[in-house]
Structure formats: C-alpha cells, structure tokens
Structure 1
Amino acid sequence: MNDLVLVLRYRKAVTYGFHVLLGALGEHETATRYEVRFGESVEETAQYIREAGDTRVLVLWSFYSPDAAALAEELRAIRLLADGPNVTHLAGGVHATAEPVQTLDAGWDMAAIGEGESTLLSLVDAKGDPAGITGLAYRDAAGDLIRTGKARQRPLDDFPGFALKWDKFNALEITRGCVYACRFCQTPFMFSARFRHRSVENVRWHVDQMRARGLRDIRFITPTALSYGTQDESPDLAAVEELLATCKEGIGPDGRVFFGSFPSEIRPEHITRESLRLVKKYCSNNNIIVGAQSGSDRVLEAAKRGHGVEEVKRAVRVGVEEGFRINVDMIFGMPGEDRADVDASLGLARELAGLGARIHAHTFMPLPGTPWRDAPAGDVDPETIRAVDRLSQQGALYGHWQRQREHAQRLAAAAEAYPRPGKSRTLLPLKPAND
C-alpha cells in the first residue's frame, strides 16, 4: 500500500517543470512508498484523487502568472469533484514564488517558493507533511501564515533535466538564472541574477540517454543561449563550441541540434559572424530568435536591457547575411512609453521586416516578482493596433499580443488587490523624452 499519491495537474504548457521535478524524484532514494499519476484534465485529476481513497494525496500544480486566474477556477472545480482532509494542493512555479499569499488566498493549500526539486524530495520523504521543510508558504491550523523561505539552490548537475523513470523528455535546461535582470522578466528574480550552467559532461549524459531511446532532436532551455559557460556579459564561444560539438557527436549523424531557436533566444549584442558560424557548423536550425523588446533606446535603458537599438539592427543584418531567418521579440505597451517611443518601435519593426526578419509581438504584462510588477497593464492604442495588424497581414509579424492585453489587465488588477508595502505604482524610471 502507498504512503503517498502524487497527482500532477499535467498540462502541455508546463510539462517541462514537471519533468524536471520527476527527474529529481526518479533518482531519489526514499523510504516513502508512492505512485505518480498524470491528470491531463480536471475530470481525470479528480478521478485520481478519488481512487487514492484515504491515502495521503499531494496534488502538484505549476503555472505562469497569466494562467493563475484560470487555474484557480480549475482548482475549485476539482475540489467539488474530489476533496478530503487527506488531499493537499501544492502550487509551484514563478507565480507561486512571486505571489505566495495571493496563491494561498486563491485556494491552494501550499505554495512552493523558488526551485522545487529539493522541496519536493523533502515532502515525499515526509509523506506530504510540510513541517520543517524549506521552500514553502502555507497557513497553519490557526490560519497564521507560515513562510519557510526559498529552497536551497543546488547545481544543475545534481538533478536530471528530464524524467527517465517515466519516459518523459523535453528540451534540456543548460542555464538557470540570468545576470541581466531585465525589469519585465521573472527569470532572474526567481532563480537569482547569476548564471548556473549544466556542465558539458552532464549535457552529454543526457544526449546519450536520448539517443539510446531513439530520440534525435536536441533543444535547449536557457534565458540567453550564447551566455552558456560564462558568468558575466561576455560570451565564451569556446565553451559554446564545446557544448555544441559534444551534442552533435552524441546525437549521431541522424540527429539534430537546435541552438538559439525556440525555446531559447540570443541577445542581439552577442550575434556576430563568428557566433552564427558556430551555430551553422553544428546545428540544424536555420532560424534565430533575437530579443529586441523595443525600438526606443529610452525604453531599453529603463528596462535595463543592456543593449540599444543599433545592436538589434546590426544583429538582424548579420544574421540575414549569414543565411538565417531572424525572429525578433518586441513588447508593445512598455511602462512609461510615449507616442515617440511607440513610433520608434513601429519604425524598427518595419525596418527589420524590410531586411527579412519576422516580428514576434508581445504586449507588456506586469508580471509578479519583477521590478515592474506594479506598473500599469500594457496599453496598446488603436493606431498602434492598426499598424501592428498591417504588419501581421503582410506576414511580417506574429504572436499572441492581443490575448496578452487581456492577461495584462488581470495581472494589474491582482497587483492592486495585493499591493506591496511601500511600493508605488508610479515608479517608472524613464527620463523625459527631450533629455
């Protein structure tokens, strides 16, 4: 008989996070007898909870901030279908880390704060009892908030990047954390503003495991691909080449390596002929994702991007000349934008499209856990919408920027309901346009 049943609310959008947790669990020795079930719908999740009977059930959730409201509705539906004193719902991921109190108030029993591998292992060892385990927030029997702090960060090599025991694979995380700490991005504020890299030897072990199971495509998860192997803002191309060469060798002649394309990107100032020729030498992708974010130097400086507009233009020109299709991320409705900033972004988008690039459009969302969490939701005016639509109709622009406008409004409303002490919604560090 099991001591614990782990039920995952298993959704396509967050499979990577679950696979990493299960990878750690699959290698972990524990006295707890447990089983893992994958709930791919509300009904299936509830069914697995009911089938557990009186056994302790830990329901694992992971979601991004834009999905928090919809998942709270799912949680309520599941509780109506299956609930009991033996069932604990645990939310993890960037939203639970940034807004643990909001997460608890939305109905979850516990919020995992920070990296989840060691927290999950400790919970399994304790058969689901949170007492004394770091990396959690929950309320005790009296309703008092208990925070146990962030879980200890461990080297990426300590845990597998996917779940071999359950035959669950994904793109391999090679870098966690980011030194750039852009004001709109959750990554550096969840994982810290420094790089932690998976070693080349450990990456090769993963590649060998994939090839042995008949998998032939290798993709990477990293906030900035050409930062692999470095601890500062300067690329280490020797480290990148060592990584790509061993991956190409390991996956074999029929395999493919993808680098700098989805689900990662390359910073514009890192794009050179030398770096792109490394990608061309070892990799199969003919497209590169470049993070530009704005066509206004003023906005880029406020966002702490660490590059300007000219670096973006140069990156696209060099990339196209080297034979790559360049996809450029841009965010509309950034905090403090004025008409001149918007026009600069639209002008850049048109110029880059003329060079052969495609624009991946986003709307600014005030994401929890970021310095711009308290900024207003991205406001895209009708004139800008028409201009963006024209680019889309020409095939020069794509993305879910309109849906993100709705997400942004919900996030801004949630920030109003859960204000941070001493923080002002007017703290937008933009210099006047005529400076």
Structure 2
Amino acid sequence: MSVEVSVVVRYRKAVTYGVNALLGALETAKAECDLRLGTTPGETAEHIAASRADRVLVLWSFYSPDAEAMAAELATVRALADDPRVLHIAGGVHATAEPQQVIDAGWDLAAIGEGEPTIVALVEALRADRPLTGVPGLAVRDGDGVALRTPPAPQLPLDAFPSFPDRRRHFGPIEITRGCAYTCRFCQTPFMFGGRFRHRSVDSVREHVRRMAAHGLRDVRFITPTSLSYGTQGPEPALDAVEELLAGVKEELPANGRVFFGSFPSEIRPEHVTPEAMRLLKRYVANDNIIIGAQSGSDRVLAAAGRGHGSAPVRDAVRIAVEHGFRPNVDFIFGLPGESPEDQDASLRLAADLADLGARIHTHTFMPLPGTPWRDAEPAFIPLATMRELDRLAQRGDAYGHWRKQAEHAARLAETAKAYPRRARRRRTTGG
C-alpha cells in the first residue's frame, strides 16, 4: 500500500539554509512527495487546504528566540486549515534541545538532531503507512502529551547530502563543516551537531559549485562554525586544506566568479588570524571583510565560557587583518553569566581599541539558549553606562547589532527555562 504524501514547508528567510538542506536530502533520496513552500502563515494554510494527498506533512524550523512567535503562527495555521490529514513537525536547534516544549506548544512531532536522515525516513514511513515510532530522530506526541523519543538519527558524512536542492534552484552557501571542537558554553552548535568537526570533501564542494555555475551563479559562500578549521580536527589551521578548497572552487567558477570566505555566514577564530592565513585569503577571496569572534575583553570571562583563547589574540588578529587589507567585524557578547562591571569595562575598552585600529564591533546580548551548558544561567546585569557606551560606538559607525532585541529574547528564554526545569523534563523512549 502506497500513501500519497504532500510536504508543505513554512519557508522563512531566517532558516533558509537549514530548510534547503532538507529539500536537498529529499531530492537526493528521491523521496517522492508533492512539495510546496509557504512564505506566510496564510499561504502555508492555503497549500494545506489545496493538497489532495492522503497525508500532509508541514515542516517548521526555527531558532530558540523565535519559538514563541512560531507557536503563535502554528496556532494561526491550524485555525485556518484544521485537517486530520496533517502532521506538523518542528525541527532545528530549539526542537532538538526542547522537544517537550515544542510538543506542548502544539506541534505533533519534533525532529531531534540532524534533519536530513530523519526527513527522508519520515516521508518514506508516511508513504508506506508505517508507525512513526520506527523513524529515527523524532519526538512523537504520546497519548498523554509526553514527547516520546525514537532512536537517534545517524550522523552521516556531509557528502551524503547536498547543502541545497538542484532542481528547485534554492541555492545558498555551501556547508563545508558541521559540528565544532570548540564547545563554548553559550553556543548551540557543538551540542546539537557534536564536539568534533565533520568536513565536506573538496570534490563534493566542487560539484556544488559546478551546479551553481551551470545555473549562471558566480558568487560562492560557505557555512562553517570556524572557517580556518576546514580540513583539520585539531586547534591549528590546516592551511594546505583551505588552499585546496579555495583553489578548487575557483577552478569551477567562471572568470568573473567570486569566492567569499571568512565573512558572513561564517567567522574566523582570532588565534587563526596569522599573516600566512591572511596572505592565503588575499589570493583567493573577494570579500574585503572578515568576521572574528572575540565575545569578551575579559580573560576571566573567556575562560569561564570555554572559548579557548584570551583577549590578547583578538587584538593581534585585528591588527594583522587590517595590515592585510581586511576590515574585521568583531563579535562581542555582553551580559555573559558571572560577568562583573570590571569585566564589562574590559570589553568596552577592548572594543574601543579595536575600533581605533579599524574594526567594526558587532554587539550581542547573552541569551540562555536551550541545549547549551548555560541554558539555565543567569545573564549578568548590563548597566545604563554600558548601554550608553555601546550606543556611542554605534553613533560613531564603529558598532552595530541588535543587542537590545536580544536582551528581550533573553528574558523570555529565561522564563521558559524556569517553566521547563532541566531535571524535571519528561522523557520516554520507544523500543524502536
């Protein structure tokens, strides 16, 4: 017996990279299904209503700060398209960390971990009318509302699936590394994808670029938690591997093609910014800026956060980058747990010094993100004097960021964490 399945995606700009990977996985696995993208809640509901399939699977993906807004959208879509054929599934870092929370918020399923093998297995199970408890990487709503977990999905090599679908032309940055060996206590990446690097092969990257170039695209960007860690498992960059990657990409591009590396949507660790590394980038990349993760000007706070570097390498990195013709965008997080007024002063002083050297400061507020060691940590108080100094840097054109909005998100996340204490979260597993 074969069941016709329609997949409707709540397609949002904020999560296109992750969703594109899922679409690429479905295309690669030839998981047959009708596929529609809803760019608004209303359009998503219209696609559900228009589907003539036996089952309709609606995909949602979001980050933790968006969880509350997405739950409100889900309620809207359910009200507009109340249909027994439909299953709503939430995926991404928030669903992975808080499956019970998303089940309680109204989703039927939560995808836990990496989504590519799960979405393929889920569509195949629906088409074959098999129990979903046999699909790996899910939390399924039990009869009493408990998020019942299935066995974990496998972590496959990155080459197993593409970064985006080819036929639908939803192109974007190529994911070259997943997971992170630097387990910073505020970051969700290593705790969702693992505390080690998994790199896409150069051959796979070149194949991505060939497909993009065949469609007339000439700009290539990359997704990676730390650009100059490509090709290595240790703390030192493997510049030979980076050069092999960049040279290979250039060979696949037309003469007017451009490579962007170490800029958005990725960054470079400060201790990796060396004269040799910057000379290498200068030979291959088109970007005139790089992103450097500093996070704090306090050595004490950096050590507590597990960053693996102090403040001195940040200053050195900015000086070296500027000397080689790059404008650094340097990330700082204010309000990290345990941060004292003296620590904040150290960050402000370093930020001002870096701005004088030619950097732009990207300001953030600490958010207690689910799935991280600091999920339940209390954000440090950010006094008015610190806020005024950040505003002054922004008015000079030396700083930018949405730290005020992040402070609002942080307050909501802290309240939600209290409602779902880590030790009290209900968890059962299937025998599948």
Give the structure 1 partner of residue 58 of structure 2.
59
**1:7 aligned partner, one-letter code:** V
What secondary structure does 1:27 align onto? Answer: helix
Query: How much does 1:157 deviate?
Result: 0.3
Return the alpha-carbon distance in structure 1 between the equivalents of residues 151 and 183 of structure 2. 21
Give the structure 2 partner of residue 403 of structure 1.
405
Give the structure 1 partner of residue 256 of structure 2.
254
When normalised by structure 1's length, the TM-score is 0.95
Return the alpha-carbon distance in structure 2 between the equivalents of residues 403 and 143 of structure 1. 33
**2:26 aligned partner, one-letter code:** L
User: Where does 1:128-147 land on structure 2 (aligned, <5 Å)?
Assistant: 129-147=131-149
Greater shift after overlay, 139-148 or 354-363? Answer: 139-148
Return the alpha-carbon distance in structure 2 between the equivalents of residues 329 and 270 of structure 1. 15
Counterpart selection for 2:317 from 315, 318, 335: 315
Query: How much does 1:99 deviate?
Result: 0.5
**1:87 aligned partner, one-letter code:** V
Give the structure 2 partner of residue 41 of structure 1.
40
Counterpart selection for 1:329 from 316, 320, 331: 331
Greater shift after overlay, 306-315 or 414-423? Answer: 414-423
Return the alpha-carbon distance in structure 1 between the equivalents of residues 188 and 114 of structure 2. 13
Query: How much does 1:328 deviate?
Result: 0.2
User: Where does 1:353-368 land on structure 2 (aligned, <5 Å)?
Assistant: 353-368=355-370
Return the alpha-carbon distance in structure 2 between the equivalents of residues 87 and 57 of structure 1. 5
Query: How much does 1:179 deviate?
Result: 0.2
**1:36 aligned partner, one-letter code:** L
Identity %: 62
**1:347 aligned partner, one-letter code:** R
**2:332 aligned partner, one-letter code:** M
Give the structure 1 partner of residue 239 of structure 2.
237
Give the structure 2 partner of residue 4 of structure 1.
5
Give the structure 1 partner of residue 393 of structure 2.
391
Give the structure 1 partner of residue 208 of structure 2.
206
- The answer on 1:188 being equivalent to 2:190 is yes
Query: How much does 1:144 deviate?
Result: 4.3
Return the alpha-carbon distance in structure 2 between the equivalents of residues 283 and 403 of structure 1. 33
Give the structure 1 partner of residue 295 of structure 2.
293
Give the structure 2 partner of residue 19 of structure 1.
20
Give the structure 2 partner of residue 92 of structure 1.
91
Matched positions, count: 421
Return the alpha-carbon distance in structure 2 between the equivalents of residues 149 and 410 of structure 1. 31
**1:47 aligned partner, one-letter code:** E
Return the alpha-carbon distance in structure 1 between the equivalents of residues 52 and 243 of structure 2. 53
When normalised by structure 2's length, the TM-score is 0.95
- Runs of 4+ aligned structure 1 residues displaced above 3 Å come to 141-145
Give the structure 2 partner of residue 74 of structure 1.
73
What secondary structure does 2:369 align onto? Answer: coil
Give the structure 2 partner of residue 432 of structure 1.
none
Return the alpha-carbon distance in structure 1 between the equivalents of residues 253 and 163 of structure 2. 16
Give the structure 2 partner of residue 276 of structure 1.
278
Q: 1:416 to 1:211 in 2, by over 3 A?
A: same
**1:115 aligned partner, one-letter code:** E
**1:174 aligned partner, one-letter code:** I
CA offsets 1:95-138 (integer angstroms, 9 cap, x no match): 00000001111111100000000101011111265231110001
Q: Which runs of 5+ in 2 are unaligned?
A: 426-432
Q: 1:116 to 1:281 in 2, by over 3 A?
A: same
Query: How much does 1:381 deviate?
Result: 1.5
Return the alpha-carbon distance in structure 1 between the equivalents of residues 243 and 380 of structure 2. 39
Q: Which runs of 5+ in 1 are unaligned?
A: 424-435
CA offsets 1:336-356 (integer angstroms, 9 cap, x no match): 011100000000010000101
Give the structure 2 partner of residue 125 of structure 1.
124
Query: How much does 1:58 deviate?
Result: 0.3
CA offsets 1:246-278 (integer angstroms, 9 cap, x no match): 111111211000000000000000000100111
**1:183 and 1:372 in contact (8 A); partners too:** yes
Return the alpha-carbon distance in structure 1 between the equivalents of residues 314 and 132 of structure 2. 48
Return the alpha-carbon distance in structure 1 between the equivalents of residues 371 and 388 of structure 2. 32
**1:59 and 1:89 in contact (8 A); partners too:** yes
CA offsets 1:38-90 (integer angstroms, 9 cap, x no match): 00001000001111246210000000000000000000011110022211000
Query: How much does 1:230 deviate?
Result: 0.1
Q: Using CA pairs below 8 Å that are at least 6 residues apart, which structure has the higher relative contact order?
A: 2
Query: How much does 1:150 deviate?
Result: 2.6
User: Where does 1:167-178 land on structure 2 (aligned, <5 Å)?
Assistant: 167-178=169-180
Query: How much does 1:142 deviate?
Result: 4.7
CA offsets 1:305-358 (integer angstroms, 9 cap, x no match): 000000000000111111110110000000001110000000001000010100
Give the structure 1 partner of residue 428 of structure 2.
none
What secondary structure does 1:131 align onto? Answer: helix
